[in-house]
Structure 1
Amino acid sequence: MTTITVHPPKPGAKINPQMWGVFFEDINFGADGGLYAELVKNRSFSFPDPMMGWHKISPSKARGALSVQGDDPYAVQHPRYLRLQSQGTDVFGVANEGFRGIGLKAGEAYRLTLRLRCLSGTPALRVALYGENGAVLEQTELSGLAGAWEERSLELRPAATDPKAKLYLLMVGAGAVDIDFVSLFPVNTWKQRPGGLRADMVQALADLRPGFLRFPGGCIVEGSELDKRYQWKNTIGPAEQRPLLINRWNYEFLHRPAPDYFQSFGLGFYEYFLLCEDIGAAPMPILNCGMACQFNSGELVPLTDLDPFIQDALDLIAFANGPATSEWGAKRAAMGHPEPFNLTMLGIGNEQWGPQYIERLERFVTAFRAQHPEIKLIASAGPEPADERFQYLWPKFRDLGVDIVDEHCYARPDWFFANTHRYDAYDRAGPKVFFGEYAAQSDKMVSVDNRNTLECALGEAAYMTGLERNADVVVMASYAPLFAHKDAWQWTPDLLWVDNLAVVRTPNYYVQQMFCHNRGDTVLPTEVSGTAPGTVFASAARDDVTGEIILKIVHRGAAPGYADIVLDAVTPVHARQIVLSGEPGATNTFADPARIAPLPAPVVIVGPKLSLPLKPNAFTVVRIKTG
């Protein structure tokens, strides 16, 4: 019989209200083709191949030509546009394939906007949505086209649901027309913001109730070379003025190439801050420190040329927190948010290591301590949780007085089960820990065979009990990566899987949700006895508002069991629990999205104890009211 003893009279550390959060990176088509709800790929013909994503539509009777032009564009940041010329013998034009298709829902409204210029004739432009099978789902025409660039818009309502539809733009009549910045969005974006985010994906984030959102990455922060790094100033302002950048996941993996993967930055830093505000998460931006990815070129900015990188970081604080009357605060206000975003923390570098990193980090620390001592600085401890790079960095961070250290680990579930006591011996006076990227790998890191199994989720849950028990050292943690498109992914496993119409919440997602919803405010000492080592893992916390004791239990055993829950010096009067359980190798799929999901279960109170059945392969959260 397992006994779990909780000691409410001996409260421990306070738990950071932002303890459990999420990490977003534009990988697996997480932004363009994912969270950013734009449905048109290469909308401004800015890809290196300007016609990528577009196909000529020319019936046999049509007589026309298409070309990509560059003189007098609509926006200088996107210097190319499409010219259609037709003799009017039949319709002639192009179709856009979207991001592995365009997902449409029957009867819902979709807003098309595009920039047009008529050079000759009086043609109309037919706009149509075609289903995967070739059926016309909706069509209409734009006429009276002007001779100078103008923005035109219209609303489309498809007659049927289709995950792989296409958008057609067809000239009707003779003449020549220039087309640029073709954009199609569902009207029902998150909070119905025009040009906004995909509602069901944001809802999945909101349903987590995360304490923070780390953005925009990941490796895209660094870039494989410095000219491909993420630069936040290129991601604000009107969408058509944000220059395109190749995504480093376009070419990173030979086994998962994505030649159509680019960053439009329609989801930029302003939108990230707004998303944080929407879902109640603290913003945690990560900025380049003057180093490209060390797994790629490792290109360095000379220390003598580092000042612009530091200034970018200082300007970001001004953009996020400055008054609307200041230079950068005015830019934020012009986008619709005069109030500050209340940024309190900032990451410098991602998975950097070595003396070159420390040299550059020191310059950032010096500048921020002088100008923004209120901002907590987060430093990177490299890509592994215990190697020589990690061991080199930690003493340097203590010397520099870094506030928080970002540790990463991708490993098999056994590593997570075996390391639940990792932080028990950490220096309580040193920098705090942000366990910023982790995910149990069912096979091995970078393997295409990795799956979001329940076993992986249980390994993560067991490890998180160790993070909670050490809340005086570990102040934040986030699973990674966050999103993956089922037809366009580069990395697996991932917290949430999407296609063009649906979102699948993995067992790992439900573990994160159960921790987020049941964080607690104060750690309560907890002991597990009477069971084989490595079988049962537990942590406990007190909700200081309700007075409830929140107990989290991971049972790794393959057979059912029982646990006596003993509460030192208090008596339980009511308890409720939710349980996530199933076969270790089980996953959630698009065909069966709720195969593994948390369910309520009864709790029996026997005198001063709780008698709790332990399901095999289960993560349980029990909330206990006491007398």
Structure 2
Amino acid sequence: MGITSNDAAPRAVLLRFLFLLCIGCKCLASEVEATQTATLAVDASPQLARKIPDTLFGIFFEINHAGAGGIWAELVSNRGFEAGGLHTPSNIDPWSIIGDDSSVFVETDRTSCFSRNIVALRMEVLCDNCPTGGVGVYNPGFWGMNIEEGKVYNLVMFVKSPETTDLTVSLTSSNGLQNLASATVTVSGESNWIKVEQKLVAKGTNRTSRLQITTNKKGVVWFDQVSLMPEDTYKGHGFRTELISMILDLKPRFLRFPGGCFVEGGWLRNAFRWRESIGPWEERPGHFGDVWHYWTDDGLGYYEFLQLAEDLGTEPIWVFNNGVSHNDEVDTVAIAPFVKDVLDSIEFARGSANSTWGSVRAAMGHPEPFPVKYVAIGNEDCGKKFYRGNYLKFYNAIRQAYPDIQMISNCDGSSTPLDHPADLYDFHVYNDSKTLFNMKSTFDRTSRSGPKAFVSEYAVWRGDAGRGSLLASLAEAAFLTGLEKNSDIVSMASYAPLFVNDNDQTLVHAAFHSLHCFLLCSCRPNIVVRGEAT
């Protein structure tokens, strides 16, 4: 609920300021002479009161393996063998063989049964008398799988073999010596692909485990879409329960997804495509996130983000590509297909179960619409050649089809009025602690008419951030006091990034890792999480 009493808003600002002051005084106490005194003057006049909107504090999702290898509970990295890079073909990394070149040979080929991700792994067993334990392949997940005693893990994989073959699927330590769970599945010899499902119950705990698939029989086996998920995901929707619980502690009012630069792509060919991220997970092609330099299988897709927002009780804010990437753009005269694509995405979320795209959502298990009320037209694209023209095409089409949707411009209106219509505008800031401290008055002189500010990305970063520093936390909190003070024109704010995998910190903020979740120094309303990649 928002604070509505006349004196509540200044009181909230005052309490936060006093909290910061107390921390600062304690940190500096050893350097202050006992005879020194200070006077604190606070003006809490009722006429200064401003209503703090319910939507002021929310969360932003992107980067640093926050999804794949983070909040999304999939344990297998490159489960479809499609992963590649900007200039490299698909490869099996991080899969590796168990055995040597004389006993097993693996390669990718284009024989999968899935039309949108046709690469599969072909494994040829060469040995007549294979070593004890067999030969095969293993996957270490995202820097090791966190397997816990007593927990159930659901294995799903698609397999083909011309001859009947017994496969042993196991969860082991990183060197394969400790067996945590195993089962034998029989693949009947036939030319068609079959779906194999197996529950594995862990009889031990290991924080850097791996998944193994082995056999002792000479012959050829094909694999594709090998997935391993813990059974106890949040509400059965695929998210790590312990990380979701920390998000719930934040009580966020909105979820900005699926990212910022992730949406744009370094090149448009690598931008996030919502259509390719819906439907059965095994049929999703995945894509290379060329801005952040890693592959995502898009198991965490558009539908899952909408479901997450619903589970958290937050407003979903859908950030979509407006025909602009970091390095190429679509001319406004050719933007119509992009506009149609976005209208379809909104119909997928909001349309009835009888509509074209609403029926696709319903088939995925959610017949009721998702209440998308906010969309962001691009990310950090203001000033690019075709942004304004493209923006107006999207704005007009969405306003006509969905007049209640609030649209967010990429252009900063905090100091200069926008030259195009918008309901809100993005404001992003990443800087050192001193600068962010000084930015607490940024919106003091902003016009009280026109669109409101959405501070959708803010943080102290680089050297000042460290691994979560008190200095950075104080600077961010000071900046937030300025947002609260100006909450009549600042409608929303979200720290960025929410999650950082300890093993891949593209931006240096506070981080998280795979087994444990640690609350690092970052002032209310932000809790920055550490844990381990599972």
TM-score band, normalised by the shorter chain?
0.7 to 0.9
Cross-structure match for 1:520: none
* Counterpart-to-counterpart distance in 1, 2:185 and 2:474: 55
Question: Closer, same or farther in 2 for the Cα pair 1:588/1:407, shift >3 Å?
Answer: closer
Deviation at 1:101, TM superposition (A): 1.2
Answer yes or no: is the 8 Å Cα contact 2:512–2:530 preserved in 1: no
Q: Which moved more, 1:103-112 or 1:47-56?
A: 47-56
* Counterpart-to-counterpart distance in 2, 1:505 and 1:233: 35
Answering whether residue 331 of structure 2 is matched by residue 326 of structure 1, we say no
Q: Which amino acid aligns with 1:380?
A: N
Cross-structure match for 1:102: 145
* Counterpart-to-counterpart distance in 2, 1:185 and 1:249: 27
Q: Which amino acid aligns with 2:308?
A: L
Give TM-score scaled by structure 2 length: 0.85
Please show how residues 159-308 of structure 1 align to structure 2 within 5 Å: 159-193=203-237, 196-251=238-293, 261-293=294-326, 297=327, 299-308=328-337
Answering whether residue 20 of structure 2 is matched by residue 4 of structure 1, we say no
Answer yes or no: is the 8 Å Cα contact 1:377–1:403 preserved in 2: yes
Answer yes or no: is the 8 Å Cα contact 1:110–1:187 preserved in 2: yes
* Counterpart-to-counterpart distance in 2, 1:80 and 1:180: 8
* Counterpart-to-counterpart distance in 2, 1:77 and 1:288: 21
Answer yes or no: is the 8 Å Cα contact 2:167–2:187 preserved in 1: no
Give CA deviations for 1:28-80 in whole Å, capped at 9, x if unaligned.
111111111111111111123422111111269x7443332223x12111212
Deviation at 1:353, TM superposition (A): 2.1
Q: Which amino acid aligns with 1:413?
A: S
Deviation at 1:5, TM superposition (A): 4.4
Cross-structure match for 1:57: 98
Q: Which amino acid aligns with 1:152?
A: V
* Counterpart-to-counterpart distance in 2, 1:307 and 1:268: 24
Question: Closer, same or farther in 2 for the Cα pair 1:352/1:124, shift >3 Å?
Answer: same
Question: Closer, same or farther in 2 for the Cα pair 1:369/1:63, shift >3 Å?
Answer: closer
Deviation at 1:144, TM superposition (A): 4.7
Give ranges in structure 1 of 5+ residues lacking alignment. Answer: 252-260, 515-586, 592-627
Q: Which amino acid aligns with 2:475?
A: G
Cross-structure match for 1:365: 395
Answer yes or no: is the 8 Å Cα contact 1:116–1:146 preserved in 2: no
Aligned to 1:435, the other structure's residue is in SS state strand
Answer yes or no: is the 8 Å Cα contact 1:249–1:490 preserved in 2: no
Aligned to 1:353, the other structure's residue is in SS state coil
Give ranges in structure 2 of 5+ residues lacking alignment. Answer: 1-38, 84-88
Q: Percent identity?
A: 34
Please show how residues 405-554 of structure 1 align to structure 2 within 5 Å: 405-441=425-461, 443=463, 450-494=466-510, 497-508=511-522, 510-513=523-526
Aligned to 2:162, the other structure's residue is in SS state strand
Give CA deviations for 1:444-473 in whole Å, capped at 9, x if unaligned.
6xxxx7332111111111111111111110
Answer yes or no: is the 8 Å Cα contact 1:126–1:139 preserved in 2: yes
Q: Which amino acid aligns with 2:194?
A: E
Question: Closer, same or farther in 2 for the Cα pair 1:367/1:170, shift >3 Å?
Answer: same
Q: Which amino acid aligns with 2:96?
A: H
Question: Closer, same or farther in 2 for the Cα pair 1:187/1:431, shift >3 Å?
Answer: same
Q: Which amino acid aligns with 2:158?
A: R
* Counterpart-to-counterpart distance in 1, 2:160 and 2:315: 44
Give CA deviations for 1:249-293 in whole Å, capped at 9, x if unaligned.
454xxxxxxxxx201110011100110011111000111111112
Deviation at 1:589, TM superposition (A): 7.2
* Counterpart-to-counterpart distance in 2, 1:424 and 1:250: 35
Question: Closer, same or farther in 2 for the Cα pair 1:459/1:98, shift >3 Å?
Answer: same
* Counterpart-to-counterpart distance in 1, 2:145 and 2:530: 21
Answer yes or no: is the 8 Å Cα contact 2:462–2:508 preserved in 1: no
* Counterpart-to-counterpart distance in 1, 2:267 and 2:233: 34
Aligned to 1:477, the other structure's residue is in SS state strand
Answering whether residue 329 of structure 2 is matched by residue 313 of structure 1, we say no
Answer yes or no: is the 8 Å Cα contact 1:95–1:169 preserved in 2: yes
Aligned length: 482
Q: Which amino acid aligns with 2:108?
A: V
Cross-structure match for 1:336: 365
Give CA deviations for 1:119-172 in whole Å, capped at 9, x if unaligned.
12x320011111135322222211253522111111112232222111110013
Aligned to 1:461, the other structure's residue is in SS state helix
Answering whether residue 54 of structure 2 is matched by residue 17 of structure 1, we say yes
Deviation at 1:436, TM superposition (A): 0.9
Q: Which has the higher helix share?
A: 2
Deviation at 1:11, TM superposition (A): 7.1
* Counterpart-to-counterpart distance in 1, 2:108 and 2:424: 50
Please show how residues 338-417 of structure 1 align to structure 2 within 5 Å: 338-354=367-383, 356-381=386-411, 394-395=416-417, 397=418, 399-417=419-437
Give CA deviations for 1:288-323 in whole Å, capped at 9, x if unaligned.
111112xxx2x1101111011111221122111111
Q: Which amino acid aligns with 2:40?
A: T
Please show how residues 147-158 of structure 1 align to structure 2 within 5 Å: 147=190, 148-158=192-202
Question: Closer, same or farther in 2 for the Cα pair 1:589/1:289, shift >3 Å?
Answer: closer
Answer yes or no: is the 8 Å Cα contact 2:407–2:422 preserved in 1: yes
Aligned to 2:42, the other structure's residue is in SS state strand
Cross-structure match for 2:167: 125
Answer yes or no: is the 8 Å Cα contact 2:97–2:104 preserved in 1: no
* Counterpart-to-counterpart distance in 2, 1:324 and 1:177: 41
Give CA deviations for 1:357-389 in whole Å, capped at 9, x if unaligned.
21221222222222222111101136xx98xxx
